[in-house]
Amino acid sequence: MPRLPRIDLARFYRYAMPVTVAAIILILIALGIWFLYLHEKQSVTDAVSAGRGLGTDVSSAFPGGSAYQNVVSAVSSVFGGGTSATSTPAGATKAAPQLWEVATAPAASITFAKDGTSTVARFLDAASGNIFDADPATSVIARRTKTLMPRIAQGAWYGEEGAVLRYEDNAGIETFSGSINAATTTGSLSATEAQALAANGPGDLEGAMLPRGILDLVAASSSIFYIAPYNGEYAGTIAKPDGSDAKRIWTSPLAEWRAQLAGNRILLVQAASEGVTGSAYELGTDGSSSLVLANLPGLAARENATTHAILYSTVGGSGAITLSVRASDGKVQTLPFATFADKCAWDPAAPSVVYCAVPHAIPQGSVLPDAWYRGEVHFDDAIWRFDTATGSVSQAYDPHAANRSLDILDPMVSPDGTYLAFRDAASGTGWVLRLTAK
């Protein structure tokens, strides 16, 4: 029978006990660290989940979704908050103020939608990807979609109900194209439709992902044009809004083209930088192209969809900003404004008229427009009207009148020439200005 080992208690207490106690202490410390680590990760995960809309209430007839609240509860002082699909505060039929901040939350894009006699400003909430209609005639704001897509950086619009949402993901730039589910309403909202929307709730944005890595995109009524890498170059492609029937119509060895629609043409302008020459092409839907502006420093441009006159700004190496119009016959007219074409919009109702946001002062010592594009400097603009046919100049509005300082970006005039919609470059918020006194 084997002999059991004899336990030397004195030896155990001398050596094994301290080791055991130390091990237990170490394990407890490790558990503590693990707990703290998990706690921190949970916080981060919660934030990311919130960003993706997880945990956000799905809207119903009276949606209480936090993303929606973030927008509508921040709707300008006209409302002071609302949680229904249509924000119908007391006095909802009262016209919005001449300068109207449709929401204090950033908008990725703002445009106009028209239904009969009603013109609404349609905007894309950057945080949720929800689409809202803001009616300046009644002050009603209606949420049109409830599909959550956070971190929307850029948007485009097509047809009556179509929208393109663009955002940055870990894999690069993603683009979603969809249309508002017609289960709710179509077109913009009449008072009756607004009531129906309040009863039925907003719809979904239903559509498809477009190819990854689209660098720039514009949308028309029933088609889109986008620029994306292709075979070591960059191709301009026309497709249906859902991405089908894609047809490459143009290629370039360069990537940095900014596209815009001008009627049945597409204007492609090289990305701007102070003193760096840029060129612009007019592109037909058949792929034909013509060089319309060449080797101009700091070039940015906006083409008139009706007359095809091109408003363009240049910034020389000395920082001097010049705004000009090139008529379709090639004649050039210089405007009395020092501003960027990015701050101008043609009036569809009066094709010779252009509205420009003109800074009260240009910051000295900044490389422009680069520093503005990087968000390092912001301007304090007034809005001016210029008639290229008569040469008449007048100030349309100065936000100082409403005690506001706005850095106006990508303005657009409503089809009837009544309103100007734009975003503030600093805050990202969407605004509507009534151009004609009512």
What residues line the site for another protein (CB under 8 A)? 36, 40, 43, 47-48, 50-51, 67, 70, 106, 126-128, 150-151, 153-154, 166-168, 172-173, 252-256, 258, 270-273, 276-279, 291, 294-295, 342, 369-370, 373-376, 378, 409, 425-428
Is 332 within 8 Å of 301 (Cβ atoms)?
Answer: no
- Looking from the CA of 253 toward its CB, the CA atoms found within 13 Å total 0
Q: How far apart are alpha carbons 147 and 143 in whole angstroms?
A: 11
CB of 245 to another protein, least distance (A): 26
Closest separation in Å from C-beta 130 to another protein: 12
- Quick one: 70 or 83, whose CB is closer to another protein? 70
> Which pair of tokens denotes residue 23?
């091990």
In the bound state with another protein, the residue whose beta carbon lies nearer, of 107 and 120, is 107
SS (H, E, C) 135-203: ECCCCEEEECECCCCCCEEEEEEECCCEEEEEEEECCEEEEEEEEECCCCCCCCCCHHHHHHHHHHCCE
Give whichever of 372 and 419 is closer to another protein, judged by the CB atom: 372
Distances from the Cα of 146 to the Cαs of 88, 89, 133, 177, 203, in angstroms? 18, 21, 13, 15, 6
Comparison of 4 and 361: residue with beta carbon closer to another protein: 361
Taking the complex as a whole, the smallest distance from the CB of residue 413 to another protein amounts, in Å, to 21
Give the DSSP H/E element, type plus range, for residue 268: strand 265-270
Shortest Cβ distance from residue 423 to another protein (Å)?
Answer: 9
In 300-352, DSSP assigns E strands to 300-303, 310-315, 321-326, 332-335, 344-346
- Pick 189 or 345: Cβ nearer another protein: 345
User: What's the closest the beta carbon of residue 150 comes to another protein, in angstroms?
Assistant: 5
- The smaller minimum CB distance to another protein, of residues 300 and 435, is found at 300
* H-run or E-run covering 34: helix 17-51
CB of 409 to another protein, least distance (A): 8
Q: Residue 412: name the closest of 111, 70, 207 by CA.
A: 111
User: Cα separation of 153 and 162, whole Å?
Assistant: 17
Report in angstroms how near the CB of residue 199 gets to another protein at its nearest.
28
What is the distance between the alpha carbons of residues 98 and 78, in angstroms, rounded to a whole number? 12
Task: Say how far apart CA 227 and CA 238 lie, in whole Å.
Answer: 9
Nearer to another protein, 74 or 196 (CB): 74
CB nearer another protein, residue 142 or residue 409: 409
Q: How far apart are CA 115 and CA 190, in angstroms?
A: 8
CB atoms within 10 A of CB 243: 18
Q: Which is nearer to another protein, 87 or 429 (CB)?
A: 429
**212: helix, coil or strand?**
coil
Q: Which segments of 346-419 does DSSP mark as H helices, in order? A: 370-373
CB 166 to another protein: min, Å:
7
The whole-angstrom separation of Cα 214 and Cα 391 is 40
Query: CB-wise, 279 or 333, nearer to another protein?
Result: 279
Report the nearest approach of another protein to the CB of residue 274 (Å).
Answer: 9
Shortest CB 141 distance to another protein, Å: 19
Shortest separation between residue 394's beta carbon and another protein, angstroms: 29
User: Whole-angstrom Cα distance, residue 341 to residue 259?
Assistant: 13
Residue that is written with structure tokens 């657009």 in the block? 412
Kindly tell me which of 86 and 109 has the beta carbon lying closer to another protein: 109
Q: Is 342 helix (H, G, I), strand (E, B) or coil?
A: helix
